[in-house]
Amino acid sequence: MDAFQIIGPVMIGPSSSHTAGAVRIGRLARAILGEQPLRAEILLHGSFARTVRGHGTDRALVAGLLSFDVADERVREALELAPREGLEVTFGEKDLGDVHPNSVQLNLEGREGKVQVEASSLGGAQVVVNKIDAFEVEIYGDLPTLVAAYPDRPGVIAAVAALLAGVGVNIAGMRVSRREAGEQALMVVETDQAIPPGLVPAMRALPMMERVIQIDPV
């Protein structure tokens, strides 16, 4: 327990789950895309869809996509600022199935690529990313996180662990999932220390590595 979790966070209102949490989801989604999105389709589910305007969830998600912080007063103007930043946003509703009531799917497109992210706001500004494209993940955004996609073959986990150990970064948590044995696999690694520059390029240079995403804490 931390005294500043009780007297804090400093945030833009009105709701830690529907506003601050939504800003964090936007920031995480942008980090997962790895660049400023040019186009964003935002599909709201459940409670997010019902109270979107009154809670400013729409502004908050877009503010996050623009990299604004949860305490940035520009959150309120994010919808007006987006076009000026070259971001085109559309909103819709979607039933995402058996997920938390405060959930959203973001379909992002940047200069380099595109990605589909599903995330939920759990309350008290805590969030979790549930899905990146077809992969189920569990990313909270509190710790530096690496996401790696590769064909499911022996040795990849050891190689990544060795790279991290080599730069003195401790692994706080690691989760590996795959669709089927031998198919594409996805690794999510949370670390105690910041991810030093050079580590992600080194991971990308590993044989068979298809995609590496770095997500700094938000």
Partner 1 sequence: MTRYNFQSMAELLQIAADEGLTLAGVVIRYQEDLEGKSREEVRRAMGERLAVMRAAARKGLHEDIRSPSGLVGGGGKLLEERRLAGQSLCAATTARAIALAMAVAEVNASMGRVVAAPTAGSCGILPGVLLALEAEKGLDEDLLIDGLFAAAGIGMVAAGQASLSGAALGCQAEVGVAAAMAAAAAVEMTGGDAVQAANAAGVALQGLMGLVCDPVGGLVEVPCVMRNAMGAAQALVAADIALAGVQCYIPFDEIVAAMVQVGRALPPELRETGAGGIAACPTARKLARQIGIKTLDKDSLQENLSVASPGIP
Residues found near partner 1 in the complex (CB under 8 A): 1-17, 19-20, 46-47, 50-51, 53-56, 59, 71, 73, 75-76, 98-102, 122-126
- Beta carbon of residue 127, minimum distance to partner 1 (angstroms, whole number): 12
* Nearer of residues 172 and 206 to partner 1, judged by Cβ: 172
**Integer Cα distance of 45 and 50 in angstroms:** 8
- Beta carbon of residue 75, minimum distance to partner 1 (angstroms, whole number): 6
* Nearer of residues 27 and 45 to partner 1, judged by Cβ: 45
- Beta carbon of residue 35, minimum distance to partner 1 (angstroms, whole number): 27
Q: Return the sign of the alpha-carbon dihedral for residues 132, 216, 190, 151.
A: positive
What b/e readout covers 154-164, taking b as 16+ CB neighbours within 10 angstroms? Answer: eebeebbeebb
Residues 6 or more apart whose CB falls under 8 angstroms from that of 72 comprise 12, 63
Beta strands in 48-198 (DSSP E): 88-93, 102-109, 114-123, 126-132, 135-139, 145-151, 171-178, 184-191
- Beta carbon of residue 186, minimum distance to partner 1 (angstroms, whole number): 24
* Nearer of residues 93 and 152 to partner 1, judged by Cβ: 93
**Integer Cα distance of 128 and 138 in angstroms:** 6
**Integer Cα distance of 59 and 66 in angstroms:** 10
Residue 96, both tokens = 């995402």
- Beta carbon of residue 40, minimum distance to partner 1 (angstroms, whole number): 20
* Nearer of residues 37 and 46 to partner 1, judged by Cβ: 46
* Nearer of residues 4 and 207 to partner 1, judged by Cβ: 4
Residue 130, both tokens = 């549930």
Distance of CA 39 to the CA centre of its chain: 16
- Beta carbon of residue 106, minimum distance to partner 1 (angstroms, whole number): 20
* Nearer of residues 53 and 111 to partner 1, judged by Cβ: 53
The length of the chain, given as a count of residues: 218
